Structure 1
Amino acid sequence: MDNENKNPLTPEEESTPAQEAIEPAGPESPAAEIPAEETQTASEPDGTQGEAPAEETSTSSQDAADGEPPMQDEQEPSEALAPVPEADTEKPQKPKKPKKDSHKGKYRGISLAMTAGFLVVVILLNVVVSLLAERYPSMNLDLTEGHVNTLSDSAAEIASNVQNPTTIYIMASEDIAKSDTLLAEYGIKYSQVSALAEKMAERNSNISVEYIDLDQNPAFASEYQDDGLMTADVLVKTDKRYRVLAYTDLFDVQYSQTGMVAYSMVDSALASAVSSVNADTLPLAVFDTGHNEMMDTTLYKNLLTSNNFETQEINLLTDEIPENAQLFVLATPATDYTPDEIEKLEAFLNDESKASDRSLLVTFYPGQDALPNLTDFLKEWGLDVQQSTQVVETDPNSYITSDPSYLLANQSGDITLSRATSDYGYLLMPQSCPINLLFDERNGITTHTLATSSSSAFLYDGTEESISNPQTGEHTLAALAQKTITTGEGEATANVVALGSTFMFVDGIINSNTFGDGRYLTDLAKYVTGTEGETTAVETRQVQTSIADISMSLLQVMVFGLGIFTILIPLIVVVIGVVVYYRRRRL
């Protein structure tokens, strides 16, 4: 019969072993009626099919007789191995090996490129930041104690106002100047000079900085033979004039029992030099040296020079007062002046051919020898200095160092020395003579009180009675007399200043940040010469440099060093890397 000769394993119905494994037998499938242990689903290793038992064959014939499709008779091995035409059969497909994902290689290449690009960006960023730091020094953080590498407000203002080409020559090679090896044996941080000079140049294109190695360029020093340029000096120059700063003008080294301490004055020294070489004119302060002067004028001269004064010394007995002098200083003379010298002083103050203001400044000291000619001259100006008497305080709040003669003076409101400064803080006037004002106004001369003691002070004249029965009261410690002079060009002012204290000019007071003496004496000199407000005042500022450079606390160092750079930044990089990795795996 046709049904009996039909091959059940025709190409249209033949199934692969893989399909038989996947498709479950349905309820109508003959295989579903055969117990699992009697059904063989796998081929033998040699490629032949297993043989069903004889009982299974008879059961299939019986099913066919009952009208059900007969089961295929077991084929001979030769028939099982007979080749099936390629067109009519479908060979079982072997599991293919997974192809390599070309996208992974692509992503891997992109990852490498991005990593290389990131490194390039980091390197370029480092180079750019380094170049910017060199071009703009203010980008560098100043963590030094006292901020010695930062321009003060006055120095920054002076640098910003420069209108003439100004060159700051540093007498050292650039590498040496910036490495702190220069003058290191004194505990000096010389790199401050380079740092502040370059920050001035940054603020104003008219300012430039050059480094001169005198060993390599000795011809430069030969141009300034009279100034004796040495390594570590600084020369500031414009077309108008130049000024040389020795390293002692930049740094102050002090010795004590505990060792050597270095202080920096670089900020104020550079600022004053830049200001002075750019000024149109500089007032001249002249110091008399012919009367065994008891006061050391070195610090006062430095103070005036720092504030755009020129200084000069003469012997009043033999020399004439320079015509351009505006301030003449008698620094606590030990001997009296001759009538000829007094006439020179009178001519200087009353010169009608001079259009500028002019002034005489005299300092005194208790116990100073009598100076009758000078005393009579001052009395004509309404000032009577009691040289044999000393002002002593009884109120502990009005003196310092447990010495009642170290007076904390009160500033008088009669005269305003500077519109910019109304209060000078602690004005210290140690061992001061009292000054009596003989009149308020006479013959065109007016007198003014500049500074006084407290009302609890008394006068000590060396007697026991002055101590046992002190007469307390306010006493004048500094006074001013003024006179208007009519000149061919208008009016000028002649001033005579008497200061009862010499010790206010000594080291530790005139240059101290604690006391206002330095600022007070600077403004006083500018006021009596009529130059107040012409230039920015420069306060001599001393900052200790031999202490630890870094002012950050240990906690700040831990936060910045360990917290940010050691932990935070690497952690951020790791997190970004992990996120990028997993995002790429899902692509």
Structure 2
Amino acid sequence: MNLKKKEKEQAAPEKNLEPAAVAGKPAKKNIFKSRKFKYGGIATVITILFIVVVIVINMIMGVLDSKVVMEVDLTPNQVYGLTQESIDFVQGLDKDVEINILNSKDSFESGGQYYVQAAAIIENYSKYSSRVTVNYVDLVKNPTFAANYEDENIASNDVLIKCGEKHKLVKSSELFNSEMSYSTFSYVVTSSKAEQSVTSAMVNVTSDEITKVAILTGYDEADYSSLTSMLTSNNFDVQEVNITTDEIPEDAKLAVIFAPGRDYDQSSLKKLDTFLSNNEKLGKSLVFVPNTQPDQIPELNSFLEEWGMSVGSGVMFELSTDHLYNNTTPFWSAAEYVDEDYSSVITNKSIPVSVMQSRPIEILKESESIKVLLESTENSGIYPVDAAEGWQPEESDLTGPITLAAVSTKQVSGVDDVSNVAVVGSAAAFASSLLSSTSVNNSAYFINMFNTLAEREDTVLIEAKTLGGATMSVTTNVSIPLGVVFTIVLPLLILVTGLVIWIRRRNR
């Protein structure tokens, strides 16, 4: 019986596993087992995994970008990145610093390319130190923020830096250098000093002591606003003192006489002596800048003679054409660096300090205590005060090099500190157009001069940055082959490659 059952099972037709044909139509294939589905499914899974990986990487990079510098600044002078001086400063912070940009990010950057650069610079501070946080504060949406600083004239696009109970407001105008455009009769931004201003403000709020500078007035001084702005932007506490009525404050480290319109009297000169003596403890410095007009200043010169220097009559002229800014005038020229201590921080000494209508400085005695800081070339001389109209220099009038800036140091036995008197012959060297220019080193040099005289250690010297890039010129011999390659050869290569791939796939 079992044998018969087995024979029946063998004789029975095998069951068709495929769906039966209906009405003569071929059986439908199982699409889930088809080759197309198999490879298409794998491709779909790979695509989904790729998208997920991209999203995850993008999220990770987004988080890292707010904490770590991810961008590579390819601009020639790293205009969007921090200088090493600022990096070293923020990495050495031992206090928490909060930087508040007083606008939304979009509104702040809508101000133009220099605002975009300023935003990039400021955001980088927090990427180099966990001690620094950067916030965008929209004053419209958060009106109570300004109310907390009623002593400040806060406005949109200003930057407020805070450390503990101390704060420093950087006005938006202090982020950039600008000059009047006489074609549009409006101020145009020429360079960025965002890093300089913000780093200086951070030094201000984190430092326990601020160096005070007294600008001495009372003798019809010329405009010194650009000098004040330079000093303030570099963390000096500047105050005006009328020396005809007031004493120079004891807590002032430096005093400045800037281009007085008339000579000092004996009472004011005595106040200068008292300040520099500092009760025989020394430790003070005076910077004297004579007026560009060759006025006689016998009393001030008598004071300077005690320090081994005097201001000569006339103005310096320069005949070396490679040192002239304008070949039509010999009174606007580039000065030569002399003393290394006062120029060591200048990173590019091929960029000069510009002087205009400089008074000559006479060194009255050879002494190690007197240093020449800046001078003209040998092909220079002094234009006489009483020169006749049409006067032309002769060979004997070329008395260069002429001293344009010098410093004299006084030291007393048994006293650790020293006092200094520095003389800079050109008041025009402190003009805003020159201090804001990246084509000359006036700002960097004179900031370092004040820092050196004040014996400041917590200093960060940062020069302004210009966003203008260099233009790449392409000759006709180069442009024609490049045009053929990119407009004919490359498109044909892409077309042929596409046809070959299409034909091969079609014939599979």
* Structure 1 CA distance for aligned equivalents of residues 372 and 407 of structure 2: 6
* 1:527-579 Cα shifts (integer Å, max 9, x gaps): 21222x5423222x04247x99x9999x9xx9xxx99xxx9xx99xx9xx99x
Note if 1:400 corresponds to 2:325: yes
Question: What's the counterpart of residue 369 of structure 2?
Answer: 446
1:53-72 counterparts in 2 under 5 A?
none
* Structure 2 CA distance for aligned equivalents of residues 551 and 397 of structure 1: 26
Note if 1:165 corresponds to 2:96: yes
Question: What's the counterpart of residue 65 of structure 2?
Answer: 133
* Structure 2 CA distance for aligned equivalents of residues 282 and 375 of structure 1: 31
* Structure 2 CA distance for aligned equivalents of residues 253 and 422 of structure 1: 23
Question: What's the counterpart of residue 535 of structure 1?
Answer: 459
* Structure 2 CA distance for aligned equivalents of residues 88 and 237 of structure 1: 94
Contact residue 394 and residue 404 of structure 1 kept, 8 A? yes
**3-state SS of paired residue (1:495):** strand
* Structure 1 CA distance for aligned equivalents of residues 84 and 366 of structure 2: 40
Contact residue 438 and residue 466 of structure 2 kept, 8 A? no
Instruction: Detail structure 1 runs of 4+ shifted over 6 Å in the superposition.
Output: 86-91, 93-99, 143-146, 550-553
Question: What's the counterpart of residue 4 of structure 2?
Answer: none
Note if 1:112 corresponds to 2:112: no
Amino acid paired to 2:308: G
Contact residue 233 and residue 244 of structure 1 kept, 8 A? yes
Question: What's the counterpart of residue 432 of structure 1?
Answer: 358
TM-score (norm 2): 0.79
Deviation at 1:329, TM superposition (A): 0.4
Deviation at 1:290, TM superposition (A): 1.6
Contact residue 307 and residue 538 of structure 1 kept, 8 A? no
* Structure 2 CA distance for aligned equivalents of residues 219 and 293 of structure 1: 42
Contact residue 459 and residue 471 of structure 1 kept, 8 A? yes
* Structure 2 CA distance for aligned equivalents of residues 199 and 280 of structure 1: 25
- Pairwise CA RMSD: 4.0
Task: Label 1:290 to 1:88 Cα distance change in 2 as closer, same or farther (>3 A).
Answer: closer
Task: Label 1:478 to 1:154 Cα distance change in 2 as closer, same or farther (>3 A).
Answer: same
Match for residue 237 of structure 1 among 137, 153, 162 = 162
**3-state SS of paired residue (2:253):** strand
* 1:116-162 Cα shifts (integer Å, max 9, x gaps): 333333333333333433443x3245567965422233332322222
Amino acid paired to 1:481: S
Deviation at 1:322, TM superposition (A): 1.5
The percent of aligned pairs where both chains have the same amino acid is: 27
Note if 1:267 corresponds to 2:177: no
Question: What's the counterpart of residue 13 of structure 1?
Answer: none
1:365-514 counterparts in 2 under 5 A?
365-386=291-312, 388-402=313-327, 403-413=329-339, 416-417=341-342, 419-421=344-346, 424-425=349-350, 426-441=352-367, 446-461=369-384, 462-464=386-388, 467=392, 469=394, 470-474=396-400, 475-485=402-412, 490-514=415-439
* Structure 2 CA distance for aligned equivalents of residues 115 and 408 of structure 1: 64
Task: Label 1:440 to 1:199 Cα distance change in 2 as closer, same or farther (>3 A).
Answer: same
* Structure 2 CA distance for aligned equivalents of residues 116 and 135 of structure 1: 29
* Structure 2 CA distance for aligned equivalents of residues 210 and 347 of structure 1: 48
Question: What's the counterpart of residue 281 of structure 1?
Answer: 209
Question: What's the counterpart of residue 31 of structure 1?
Answer: none
* Structure 2 CA distance for aligned equivalents of residues 482 and 100 of structure 1: 102
Question: What's the counterpart of residue 5 of structure 2?
Answer: none
Amino acid paired to 1:482: T
**3-state SS of paired residue (1:172):** coil
* Structure 2 CA distance for aligned equivalents of residues 377 and 204 of structure 1: 49
Contact residue 276 and residue 282 of structure 1 kept, 8 A? yes
Contact residue 83 and residue 462 of structure 2 kept, 8 A? no
* Structure 1 CA distance for aligned equivalents of residues 447 and 9 of structure 2: 116
Question: What's the counterpart of residue 30 of structure 1?
Answer: none
* Structure 2 CA distance for aligned equivalents of residues 437 and 89 of structure 1: 129
Task: Label 1:208 to 1:293 Cα distance change in 2 as closer, same or farther (>3 A).
Answer: same
Deviation at 1:209, TM superposition (A): 1.1
1:181-192 counterparts in 2 under 5 A?
181=110, 184=111, 187=112, 189-192=114-117
Deviation at 1:363, TM superposition (A): 0.6
Note if 1:121 corresponds to 2:53: yes
Larger Rg: 1
Amino acid paired to 1:314: V
Match for residue 267 of structure 2 among 323, 337, 340 = 340
Contact residue 327 and residue 359 of structure 1 kept, 8 A? yes
* Structure 2 CA distance for aligned equivalents of residues 464 and 347 of structure 1: 43
Task: Label 1:408 to 1:100 Cα distance change in 2 as closer, same or farther (>3 A).
Answer: same
* Structure 1 CA distance for aligned equivalents of residues 445 and 220 of structure 2: 26
Shifted more, 253-262 versus 217-226: the winner is 253-262
Deviation at 1:198, TM superposition (A): 1.6
Unaligned 5+ runs, structure 1:
1-85
Deviation at 1:107, TM superposition (A): 4.8
Task: Label 1:424 to 1:115 Cα distance change in 2 as closer, same or farther (>3 A).
Answer: closer
* 1:361-381 Cα shifts (integer Å, max 9, x gaps): 111234343233222111121
Deviation at 1:218, TM superposition (A): 3.0
Task: Label 1:241 to 1:477 Cα distance change in 2 as closer, same or farther (>3 A).
Answer: same
**3-state SS of paired residue (1:543):** coil
* Structure 2 CA distance for aligned equivalents of residues 275 and 481 of structure 1: 29
Unaligned 5+ runs, structure 2:
1-7
**3-state SS of paired residue (1:509):** helix
Contact residue 196 and residue 461 of structure 2 kept, 8 A? no
Deviation at 1:211, TM superposition (A): 2.3
Question: What's the counterpart of residue 200 of structure 1?
Answer: 125
Amino acid paired to 2:175: L
Note if 1:359 corresponds to 2:285: yes
Amino acid paired to 1:127: M
**3-state SS of paired residue (1:190):** helix
* Structure 2 CA distance for aligned equivalents of residues 382 and 87 of structure 1: 130
**3-state SS of paired residue (1:291):** coil
1:74-93 counterparts in 2 under 5 A?
none
TM-score (norm 1): 0.69
Aligned positions, number: 461
* 1:506-544 Cα shifts (integer Å, max 9, x gaps): 12322222222222211211221222x5423222x0424
Question: What's the counterpart of residue 301 of structure 1?
Answer: 228
* 1:415-470 Cα shifts (integer Å, max 9, x gaps): 622554487431222111111122235xxx93332222211212211323963545
